[in-house]
Structure 1
Amino acid sequence: MKNKEKSNLSNSEIFLNIYNKLDEFIRRESGNSYKESFSHVVKNSKNKIIPRFKDELISLGELRNAIVHSPKYGGQAIAEPHQSTVDKINFIYKAITSPPKVIPEFQFAVVGAKEDDEIKEILAEMRRSSFSQFPVFNKDNEVIEIISNNTISRWLANNIADDGTLLLENVKVSDFMQEIEFENNYKFVSRNSSIYEAYDIFIQHINKHKRNLDGIFITNSGNRKEKLLGLITIEDIANKV
């Protein structure tokens, strides 16, 4: 019976139901009363996800006003949202109220190496598993650096013989570390961080330093001394947000 009742709701009714829940969530989170306009609350929210949808939220607020304040004809709203609009506000509602977390989205066993390990072994694993960077651990299994494809390319360019041969025997991970262009070019986040928060770290770094991070490591609380739970690259996360 409940599902049947839901199916009989018009798009405007479904839209307003979702809008009201979203409005209540944003106001409760920010401590704003209903004296302030929805657009004011959106523009001044401290929620890190809301700015991503700011323009859409303000437009949806204007649509809400049109539905609520316009006269009805035959009991139907004159401003009846398209299904795509209903889908959009539902997507935004879920993104803001229960955003996907970096775990389990980017959870996997992170393959790394020690400074004294031979590079050919980790390169073979990179090829098998199709990953583009790996952490370097110290004796306590703490991350001390990250080696990316760019680092590997620079080392290869500097070590190919004139005849095109390349010897990797006895070459250590530490040899590749000398070719790292930007040291400590990585960050850590906790497992409870949203994918939007992680993405913003990449964007903020680019805006500040005019270059990209090699990666973001995930640990339980964001502490670098904790076990790695995953690794995010900007290519990985761009498709998610």
Structure 2
Amino acid sequence: MHKERGGTMPDNSDRYLAAFNRIEKALRTQVGSDEYQTFSFMVREASKKNAVVKRYDNDLREFADLRNAIVHNSTNPAFTIAEPHDSTVEKIKMIEEEIIHPKKVFPTFQKEVIIFQAKDSLAKILKIIREHAITQFPVYEDGKFLGLLSESGITNWLSKNVKEDIISLVETELHQVVSHEEEQQNYQFVDRDMSIYDAKEIFKDNLDQGVRIDALMITENGKEDEGFLGIMTRWDFLRIK
């Protein structure tokens, strides 16, 4: 049944088309596409570098089909053949918000990051684990990032030194322990403006390649010599839907 469009309040088709057009404009900007490229082409290209678009790839294609039904199947601009359901309008508006204003790693994972020095003792770090339940520890040496020490690295060091009659946790320095991480590149620095979905893709892509990332260190521009703004661990990665 045709529905007449009019009045001062926008109906669902108006709200839907407005959201779709904003998404289309955002995708066109992201991929640097001209006005003649199809929506499906822009979705495909944007998915290659935007995890949010990749996440909603199928939804976006379905949105395009409905948009075509609303616009192209109507012979009279005053009428619409397909009127989106309220839930569909809310869904496209939600996805629009995530594409245009994606949730960022900062301030989502903003937290105090405790930094250690290469000559700090293993006893010091074990005390922090007990008191603060922290499991990832950036280690610096002479102002340069040395590596990310994790519980796994500590366990590996202990297992390889357990044959010693005496293990001195106070005398053991962190530079001796950090080299026992299974993955020496078990971290990555990311900038504060990265979306949480792009961050999730880093964990996932590395897992697919058989590499375990323990944490993403968040700084202003994703550089090692910048102050920490937060940290996103692999446990945080598992909690992102």
Q: TM-score category by the smaller chain? A: 0.7 to 0.9
Which amino acid in 2 is paired with 1:235?
W
Counterparts in 2 of 1:32 and 1:115: CA distance versus 1, 3 Å: closer
Judge conservation of contact 2:19–2:93 (CA < 8 Å) in 1.
yes
Deviations for 1:166-218, whole angstroms, at most 9, x for unmatched residues? 863433323422421121322111222222332222223223x3122122212
* 1:79 has 2:82 as partner: yes
Partner of 1:153: 155
Partner of 2:45: 44
* 1:176 has 2:166 as partner: no
Q: Secondary structure at the match of 1:19?
A: helix
Judge conservation of contact 2:118–2:146 (CA < 8 Å) in 1.
no
* 1:98 has 2:123 as partner: no
Q: 1:124 aligns with which of 115, 127, 130?
A: 127
The runs of 5 or more residues in structure 2 that have no matched partner are: 1-6
Counterparts in 2 of 1:66 and 1:219: CA distance versus 1, 3 Å: same
Judge conservation of contact 1:186–1:214 (CA < 8 Å) in 2.
yes
Judge conservation of contact 1:136–1:143 (CA < 8 Å) in 2.
yes
Judge conservation of contact 2:109–2:231 (CA < 8 Å) in 1.
yes
Q: Secondary structure at the match of 1:44?
A: helix
Of stretches 107-116 and 167-176 in structure 1, the one that deviates more from structure 2 is: 167-176
Q: How far apart in 1 are the matches of 2:221 and 2:91?
A: 32
Judge conservation of contact 1:144–1:184 (CA < 8 Å) in 2.
no
Q: 2:68 aligns with which of 62, 65, 70?
A: 65
Judge conservation of contact 2:183–2:211 (CA < 8 Å) in 1.
no
Deviations for 1:99-123, whole angstroms, at most 9, x for unmatched residues? 1222212222211212221222222
Partner of 2:112: 109
Which amino acid in 1 is paired with 2:82?
A
- State the shift of 1:138 in Å: 0.8
* 1:54 has 2:57 as partner: yes
Runs of 4+ in structure 1 deviating by more than 6 angstroms, as ranges, are none
Which amino acid in 1 is paired with 2:219?
T
Q: Secondary structure at the match of 2:56?
A: helix
Q: How far apart in 1 are the matches of 2:32 and 2:175?
A: 52
- State the shift of 1:58 in Å: 0.7
TM-score where L is the length of structure 1: 0.81
Aligned CA RMSD, in angstroms, stands at 3.0
Q: Secondary structure at the match of 1:187?
A: strand
Of stretches 94-103 and 82-91 in structure 1, the one that deviates more from structure 2 is: 82-91
TM-score where L is the length of structure 2: 0.81
